[in-house]
Amino acid sequence: MDKEIVRGLSVSPLGVHAVLLVVPSDLTFTEAQQVALEEHMNLFDAGIWKHTMVLFTYGDKLADKSIEKHIEREHRALRWLVNKCENKYHVVNNMKKSDMSQVTELFEKIEEMVAGNNGRLYCPDMNDVHHRIEEKFRRRQLKNVLKQELEEEYRRRELELMINFKETLLALQADKESVTST
């Protein structure tokens, strides 16, 4: 997935004006999603956040509640995300797909973000990004090896305990038999 994200950003060799993080408003954005998102975003330098906006989908599921109330009442991970994006967000009502004003408003917000960034494009150093991906892959491999070794050690100790327990039970059974036969 990391390579696919990087490929998406590298389609434009000069850089991008906007990165949209799509978040369905009808699902809870939890710490698990926050951690996953941070891992992906950490492939790039911190400057990416100045060019990032949250795009909430399924705005129709909010009913009468405003997106601000939704953000306020949701898990703190969602508030973290909105804060990270400097409160840049937009809501799309999926039931009004033909309402082009939603798209127009989104583009207006993107233009505001571009103006706030003085028209500068976000262009990551792809060598650094690829290095971070390789490093992340190595850490994940090491983690898997350590996890496997830990599981093997756990199984070995469990087997050892079971053997010791069996020996203790047999010894107790032998003691009991010798006591009852005398």
Q: Is 53 helix (H, G, I), strand (E, B) or coil?
A: strand
| pLDDT tens per residue across span 74-121 | 889 999 999 999 999 999 998 888 889 999 999 999 999 999 999 998
Alpha helices (H) in the chain, listed in sequence order: 2-10, 31-41, 67-73, 76-84, 100-116, 126-181
Residue owning tokens 């500068």: 120
Provide the whole-model pTM: 0.69
Q: What proportion of the chain, given as a percentage, has pLDDT over 90? A: 45
pLDDT tens column, 116-146: 999 998 877 777 877 877 887 887 788 888 8
CATH dotted code for 2-123: 3.40.50.300
Cα dihedral 29→35→38→43 (10° resolution): -140
The mean pLDDT of the chain is 88
